[in-house]
Amino acid sequence: MKKREEMKARVDALRAKHVEPLLARFPRMLPTAPDSAARYALYSALVWFVIWILIAATTALKLVFPEFIDQFGFMSYGRMRQAETNVLNWGVLFMGAVGAAFAIIPRVCQVRLWSERIGAQIVIGLNQVVLAGTVLVFLGRTQGISGLEWPWPVDIALVAIMFGVLQVLMATVMRRTEKRINAPARHLIAAFHVFPITYAVANFSTPFFYGVKQTYFSGFGAAGFLLAMSLVGVGSSLFVLPRATGNPIYSEKLATYGWVTMLFFLPWLGLTARILGPGQDWLETLGITLALASLVPAAFVATNLIATARAGGGKDPAVKFMVGAGVIWALALVQLAAGSFRHPAAIVGATWWNESVRTAFLGAFGLWLVGLMYHLIPRIRGRALRAPAIVNLHFWIGTAGVVIAWASLAVAGVVQGYLLRVGAETGGEIAAGEGWRQISIAVQPMLVGRMAAGAFIFTGIVLLLYNVQRTLAEGPETEPEPVVPERAPATVGGQS
Amino acid sequence: MRNERGAFNIGIVIGLTVLALAMTAVLGILMPLTDPAVGSEAAGQPLSYTQEQVEGRKIYIREGCFTCHTRMVRDAAADEPYGPMSLPADYFNEAPALLGLDRVGPDLTCIGDRQSDIDALVKHLRNPGSVHEGSTMPSYAFLSDRELRAVASYLTALTCQEA
């Protein structure tokens, strides 16, 4: 016993001598305050949101005006397009998902985050990974696989970050004082298992499998991202809506059914990417069947979110974002299922239609993240929103932007597919060269529509940035929301 | 419908998640991988490249050409002008396979059959608008002459007709 106390005293002395000065020197790098890691992640996502919209706007402009900044190789359309996709996926959406998990899991488990310091370090590391991946893609370092563009050193770092997030979350869950793993926790825990497993399997297989075989893995990776972000979005909504409306989730059963059916149906959606392409018919049929089955979780989730929002009162502006995003997400699953059947796929497959489906999903995830930011940031910073009226404006502008882009691209896909088919049937020179130019001219108004939608989304992000900045600078002060209410222990292992 | 049930054990949450992913991996990856239809014995015509064409392929990947152009002729009437339907063995030695997802520009599976003039392709890559007025394809004039010729040479190698 005495020996143990001596050892403890020695450790304390070493800590006082070496660790504490370091912590005092870098208080922002190694924070201990509650919600520090969540704040870092949410603010980082906000910054990447701005970077993303600038890249996306430039990309959309280049598609309408191809001569726009065409002198520089690093700003060529192909490189910018890859950078744009990856900044959105990892810098904005995954970063936001990490922030959501770091804020929500402790609250629903009634325990502080296992380690704010490690959480903050993970967020700092994730920022470096996203920056490195983006710079490398701009420099032309790409794996050349849609959805898996980042080079392998970045992939390894990203997988390590994902497992780090999982470690922090699971250590928090294991120390919980609330025994019940409720709906938001279930969704988020599952999501942060899906992220590393699917990304690692998809990326680390690329050196070993060539040709069509590689597409099985890349499809698994893409569907894994879709599943994980869907779980984060739905889990966040099931956390925010009851708090914002003051009523419980409309149906716990629907929440459970939605969660289970998402887990078992959504990982297959990667099989729908190349319907009628090279590959096995039975695999296509499996993909189409599971795409149809994904309408089940779409119905469960949309019903539950709408009913929860309608049952409650409250004026939290986040409610609109959560429900609007849920509806767009469910409709995107309907669109994906409809386009995966072989007859429609013969028209709209490999056209702008695919981009339309992706726009709807990513738009829904973006709206979920924005709603979460409006809900969480004032609470964890202890300041009321500076301009709540702007949030309403942001909702309508942002939603209009997503819907206009989504619809424009869907129409462009149908037009493109029909023109190709008519050209093929009439023997016209439509597939390439001068004929393809006719297709480009036909879809140009829709691409201009998409560019206009981008301006709406850009305006929304400016409003978000303005509102958050003003809130942090001069929002009316309130009590920061405690992670753990008074009755529960305030300090749990891993925290100093 | 409202109740307080839904209390899950953490093991069940993780177990169901892993089970769902494992099922997808077995049926959606492992089973198709072992299917002879996608192996080297499958019918098709794997491509082979010269050193210059390999260089051109690297530039094609570096510049992200696969984000706008598919290399996948589907079993659909709309794709018939592009050539014969693509088969798994067509991509057998391709890493990455560069099938692509969307067509912002035309499919390039058999571009070598449609255009075998390297100089014409270089001209198009350098200034697409000068070849097809109003083309939305960006200019690749920032590439060196050697790089442009390498890409053009690679494109001419993408053929579908029996040698």
Average pLDDT for A2-23? 86
Please say if the pLDDT value at position A3 is more than 60.
yes
Could you give the CA distance from residue B106 to residue B75 in angstroms, rounded to a whole number?
16
Q: Name residues 90-119 of chain B within 8 A of A (Cβ).
A: 90-107, 111, 114
Interchain contact, B63 vs A140, CB within 8 Å: yes
Q: Looking at CA atoms only, how far is residue A350 from chain B in angstroms?
A: 4
Instruction: Tell whether B7 is within 8 A of chain A (Cβ).
Output: yes
* Distance (Å) from the alpha carbon of B147 to chain A's nearest alpha carbon: 12
Distance CA A89, CA A93 (A): 5
At residue A495, φ and ψ (nearest 5 deg) are: -100, 145
Residue B20 belongs to a domain: no
CA distance A232 to chain B (A): 14
Closest Cβ–Cβ partner in B4, B88, B137 for A278:
B88
CB spacing of B95 vs A248 below 8 angstroms: no
Chain B residue numbers touching A423 (CB-CB < 8 A): 78, 81
What pLDDT is stored for residue A487 in this prediction?
57
Confidence of residue A18 (pLDDT cuts 50, 70, 90): confident
Q: What letters, b where the CB count within 10 A reaches 16 and e where it falls short, cover A339-358?
A: bbeeeebbbbbbbbbbbbbb
Q: What is the interface size between A and B, counted as CB pairs within 8 Å?
A: 276
Contact A431 B10 (CB under 8 A): no
Give the other-Cβ count within 10 Å of A441's Cβ. 11
Q: Note whether B133 contacts A: Cβ–Cβ < 8 A.
A: yes
In A117-156, the residues whose Cβ lies within 8 Å of chain B are 140-146, 149
Residue A166 and residue A190 in contact, taking contact as beta carbons nearer than 8 Å: no
Calculate how close chain A gets to B149, using CA atoms only, in Å.
Answer: 17
Paired tokens of A357? 């489906």
What is the four-CA torsion angle of A384, A390, A395, A396, rounded to 10 degrees?
A: 160
Q: How confident is the model at residue A30 (pLDDT cuts 50, 70, 90)?
A: confident
Whether residue A415 lies within 8 A of chain B, CB to CB, comes out as no
Per CB-CB distance under 8 Å, the chain B contacts of A190 are 13-14, 16-17
Is there a domain that residue B126 lies in? yes
pLDDT of residue B57: 96
How many angstroms separate the CA atoms of A407 and A353, rounded?
9
Output the CA–CA distances (angstroms, integers) from residue A50 to A92, A136, A225, A426, A444, in the order listed.
Answer: 9, 19, 22, 47, 26
pLDDT for A493 equals 38
Closest Cα to residue B160, out of B47, B54, B70? Answer: B47
What average pLDDT does the structure give for chain A?
92
Average pLDDT of the residues in A292-298: 98
Has residue B109 been placed in a domain? yes
Number of residues in chain B: 163
Q: pLDDT digits over A315-327, tens only? A: 788 999 999 999 9
In a domain, B133, yes or no: yes
Give the CA count within 13 Å in the CB-facing half-sphere of B45.
13
CA distance B82 to chain A (A): 7
**In this predicted structure, what is the pLDDT of residue A314?**
66
Between chains, do B3 and A252 touch, taking CB under 8 Å as contact? yes
pLDDT at residue A138 in the model = 96
Cβ within 8 Å of B, A 169-198: 173-174, 179-183, 185-186, 189-190, 193-194, 197-198
Local confidence band at A490 (pLDDT 50, 70, 90 cut-offs): very low
Question: Coil, strand or helix: which one is B8?
Answer: strand
Does residue A209 sit at the B interface (CB-CB below 8 Å)? Answer: yes
Q: What is the pLDDT of residue A252?
A: 93
A203, A86 in Cβ contact below 8 A? Answer: no
pLDDT for res A486? 64
Enter the tokens of residue A384.
């009321």
The CA dihedral of A341, A344, A345, A348, to the nearest 10 degrees, is -150
Given a cut of 80, whether residue A330 has pLDDT beyond it is yes
Provide the domain limits for residue B124: 51-157
Note the pLDDT of residue A495: 40
| Facing residue for B135 by CB, picked from A214, A280, A437 | A437
Distance (Å, whole) CA B139 – CA A68: 10
| CB A197 within 8 Å of CB A224 | yes
How far is residue A244's CA from residue A239's CA, in Å, rounded to a whole number? 9
CA distance A389 to chain B (A): 33
Q: Is B26 on the interface with A (CB under 8 A)?
A: no
pLDDT on residue A494: 37
Region of poorest pLDDT, from A104-108, A232-236, A239-243, B112-116: B112-116
State the CATH number of the domain containing residue B138. Answer: 1.10.760.10
For residue B44, tell me if it sits in a domain. no
The distance of B150 to chain A (nearest Cα, Å) reads 16
- The answer to whether the pTM exceeds 0.90 is yes
pLDDT at A426: 82
A15 confidence band (pLDDT: 50, 70, 90): confident
A253 dihedral zone (left: phi>0; alpha: psi -120 to 50; beta): alpha
Res A492 pLDDT > 50: no
Q: What is the pLDDT of residue A348?
A: 96
- Per the domain annotation, does B29 fall within a domain? no
Residue B3 pLDDT grade (very low, low, confident, very high; cuts 50, 70, 90): very low
Question: Residue B163 above 60 pLDDT?
Answer: no
- Annotate A378-405 with b (16+ C-beta within 10 A) or e (fewer): bbbbebebbeeebbeebbebbbbbbbbb
Q: What pLDDT, on a 0 to 100 scale, did the predictor assign at position B48?
A: 84
| % of chain A with per-residue pLDDT over 70 | 97
Residue B60 within any structural domain of the chain = yes
37-76 in chain B: CB under 8 A from chain A: 37-38, 61-68, 70, 72, 74-76
φ, ψ dihedrals at A477, nearest 5°: -70, 140
**ipTM > 0.85?**
yes
Number of domain units in chain B:
1
Query: Which H or E run contains A393?
Result: helix A388-426
Residues of B in contact with A429 (CB under 8 A): 81
Give the per-residue pLDDT at B42: 67
Say how far apart CA A339 and CA B156 lie, in whole Å.
Answer: 33
- Chain position carrying tokens 């001219």: A441
| B6, B8, B97 ranked by CB distance to A211: nearest | B97
Q: Do A201 and B102 touch (CB under 8 A)?
A: no
Q: How far is A352 from chain B (nearest CA, A)?
A: 6
Give A458's contacts (C-beta < 8 A, 6+ positions apart).
Answer: A53, A57
Q: With respect to residue B120, please indicate whether it lies within any of the assigned structural domains.
A: yes
CB contact under 8 A, B136 and A346: no
The SS3 of residue A365 is helix
